[in-house]
A and B are shown apart, each in its own frame.
Chain A
Amino acid sequence: MSTPEQQISAAINEAIAGNEVLLFMKGTPDAPRCGFSARTVAALEALGTPFAAVDILPDPRIRQELSAISNWPTIPQLFVRGELVGGCDIVTEMYETGELAELLGVEPPAEAPGHAPVAAEPGAPPLTIENKLS
């Protein structure tokens, strides 16, 4: 019998392993609940790359277990091919330098780099971790 924390941790690891591009965020891509999450979503959407998202807000243990796995204290957290890329600052910086497009294997944004996008467009439906609890 595993604890709820172990179940959440297992579900997080499964989500990281099972999604090439995965964003842990506050809220959903359609309705971010934090400016840092919104900015990270906007960078991914500006590159037109499909990504999965997990809302960490429904259960505080999701964030706790995620930070234990990733050794990263803040939200959002972007994972690409199972590796932590970073939070909002690093993703924004990599967007602006073109490194994010390169990492994701997509074309850099058409407009000159230097401006992180601000608009949030609807994205993929979020994954849920909290309802994996038995």
Chain B
Amino acid sequence: MKNLKWKVVFVLIVLLGALYVVLTKRINLGLDLKGGTHLVLQIETQKALESETSAALREIKRRLEEENIPVVSARRKGTTIEIELLSPEYTEKAVSLIKDEYSQMFSIKTEGKKILLSMKPSYKAKEIDRLAEQALETIRNRIDQLGVAEPVIVRNGKDRIIVELPGVKNPERAKKVIGKVANLEFKEVIGTARTPDELITKLGGTLPPGETVSVEPSPEGPKFFLIKNGKREEIKVKSLEELVEKFGGRVPEDQQILYQEIKNKEGKTVGYVFYILKREPILTGAYLKDAYPSQDENGMPAVSFVLKEEGARIFRDYTKTHIGTRLAIVLDNKVQSAPVIRSEIGARGQISGQFTYQEARDLAIVLRAGALPAPVKIIEETTVGPSLGKESVEKGIKAGVAGIIIVMLFMAVYYKTAGVIADLALLMNVVLLWAMMILLGATLTLPGIAGFILTVGMAVDANVIIFERIKEELRKGRNLFSAVEAGFARAWGTILDANITTLIAAAVLFQFGTGPIKGFAVTLSLGILSSMFTAVFVTKVLLDLIVKFKPQIFRI
């Protein structure tokens, strides 16, 4: 008797607590319900690792040359390097030289006069982790600058980042700002060319008489065509260096070719200018202190920047000794502009390059936030407009309310008094589940709403099992009190087993799912837990109360 009193108090406290939470706090809505953009970014770490290998290769070659070790060939393939020396007698010296600097990065194998370097998996793993952390930090900075309220930016697996932007109005712009590498470099200009032919001849190549190379713009960059006897044939090359080499030209190891896009008034690319540049940059975006949108001398949108102290010193020293030469401002391997240095330049400079106002503003944002350590690719996007989210919520509520009413009516008609008790427990289950989701900070998604509603249908299961047992016991001729006791005792094991197996399925679902599906798994699992409490414990308390005080109204 006393026991029952405490149980009633306990149930009331839980109910009031849950009601308090439900009435005072709001549940987190998923992006599919409140509207917004969900992005999954893949960091292209392989590219970063490959360019790191390329840099190592250049450095190793320089070193070997310095030590007068004759190299026949040195090539990179993915993240491995193959070096062939003139003869095996140099191998030992070359290996010890490479080991000094690169024993952390590469494992070294030799085979006569050949040396094979392959990037160590441990180094790769560490590097990928570093790249991902840095990319995460950079993207966080950029999104902060975009002014999105309550963004979520988290790592997913080893080389992915999930970005959630609630209520973003212009997802295309956000995608651009997030995805831009923004690698800013200042490089010394060695030569320029207006046409591919000029570029090839400048680098020592020759074109057969009567043949010319023409260039056409495309969204992927310049496309080259060989024109011979009035016929056009596309030349497929991966880089401008490859094009030059095809015609017998050679680009020195410490130089590279990049292009600048020439745009018309509508901002469409109509042509290119080619630049032969020193590969090693004078300065990079890492030395930037600030960047902001501005206007150039013609009143066109531009981006002004301020260098950090060290960068300003390097810049001043360089420009002082290079007056009259051209300096290329390179962004993501595209030349933006290449002004002639007219006087010593200090901490301040400007990038102009046929930007629109919006582009200049966004460029300032990404430059301020810093460059991404590797290119990122958006591999998944879900954008839900606010109107659809609202409609989903409305539909969900409609389906939920209809479902609850039908189940409650059915239970009350079929199980009479006991059914009404089950209905009360069901209502409490709804409140409790809602409160649990709020307290755990779970996110309600559209499938989550479905899970919620489904739980309502399944929650009465425990009651059905118990009531059927009680009926059976009553049929066997037991009195009401002992039938209720036996019914509960016998049903408990069944309920436990049945629910645990369902929980197993829900747990797998949680592991497997992303975003909305995870929301479903969470609601389903919590629903099973809370329904075990309400359908078993709360129902028992209510039944006990009736059996004790008003057994005459009990019908089942």
Q: Are both chains from one complex?
A: no
Query: Which residues in B have some Cβ–Cβ distance to A below 8 Å?
Result: none
